[in-house]
Structure 1
Amino acid sequence: MTPDNWQTIRDLTAWVDANNGRSEHEIAMRLLKVTEEAGEVASAYIGMTGQNPRKGVTHTLADVQGELCDVILTAAVALASLSDDPAGVFDAKIARVADRAAAVEAAR
């Protein structure tokens, strides 16, 4: 994510804080919201593939992509609620995962 994206995440986190506070319960709700959004990705994908014969095709690829963006955004707000440096935490995590992937490839 770009620095501008992280500023938007901080602004959204402040907005949620102003409306809901930042109690332990509220943090738990933000974490649960990530799971809810992931469920919406699954539902949209099922709808895109027409997996439910009773419903047929109900979603598009754009719907699935939008739901994935909702997961990323919701997770970023949750991370910003738990860290003073969410961008640094995220960048460090990406680096660790990339290093592990590179090590696996190097071992092949």
Structure 2
Amino acid sequence: MNDHTPQAPPPPDLWATVDTLWEWLDSHRPIEGREGVLLRVLKLSEEVGEVAEAVIGATGQNPRKGVTHTWDDVQAELCDVVITALVALRTLTPEAREVLARHLERVTRRSAELPARADVPRPSH
């Protein structure tokens, strides 16, 4: 039997990819030192703004422009935020993986201690 169903590529190793992106960015950094680090962190604000733009575009909230984006665009912009944040964290410390793991553990533990709220609506798709 000849199955021509395309196979999905294996998922990339997240931290290896973050390291690769960080190395490439570091070798192409136009501004060095503290200012370069600060600009890398500020890049996160730009990416968050692009999420907002995509949400406004997906919902058609700008009557002059109408619907200009899709929810797939919103998802892609959110991914850019995550990638940018991870690269910024890696810029601040080579132990970014461990820092994130410890922080995620604290947030998970903290949220597990909170009682469930029945009055909070859950998003639906």
Shift of 1:22: 4.7
Task: Give unmatched runs, 5+ long, in structure 2.
Answer: 1-10, 117-125
Identity %: 49
Determine which structure has greater relative contact order: mean sequence separation of CA pairs < 8 Å that are 6+ residues apart, divided by chain length.
1
CA offset digits 1:40-96 (Å, max 9, x no partner) = 000000000000111100000000000000000001100000111111111111111
State the alpha-carbon separation in 1 of the partners of residues 58 and 18 from structure 2.
29
CA distance in 1, matches of 2:24, 2:44: 17
Q: Which residue of 1 aligns with 2:91?
A: 81
Q: TM-score, normalised by structure 2?
A: 0.79
Structure 1: how far apart are the matches of 2:109 and 2:36?
A: 34
Identify the residue that residue 13 of structure 2 maps to in structure 1: 4
Who wins on radius of gyration, i.e. which is larger? 2
Among 26, 36, 39, the alignment partner of 1:29 is 39
The alignment yields a C-alpha RMSD, in angstroms, of: 1.7
d(CA) in 1 for partners of 2:12, 2:64:
45
Per the alignment, in what secondary structure is the counterpart of residue 114 of structure 2? helix
**How far has the Cα of 1:105 moved from its partner?**
2.5
Taking a change above 3 Å as real, the CA distance of residues 103 and 3 of structure 1, as seen in their structure-2 partners, is: farther
Q: TM-score, normalised by structure 1?
A: 0.91
Aligned length in residues = 105
Runs of 4+ in 1 over 3 A off after TM superposition: none
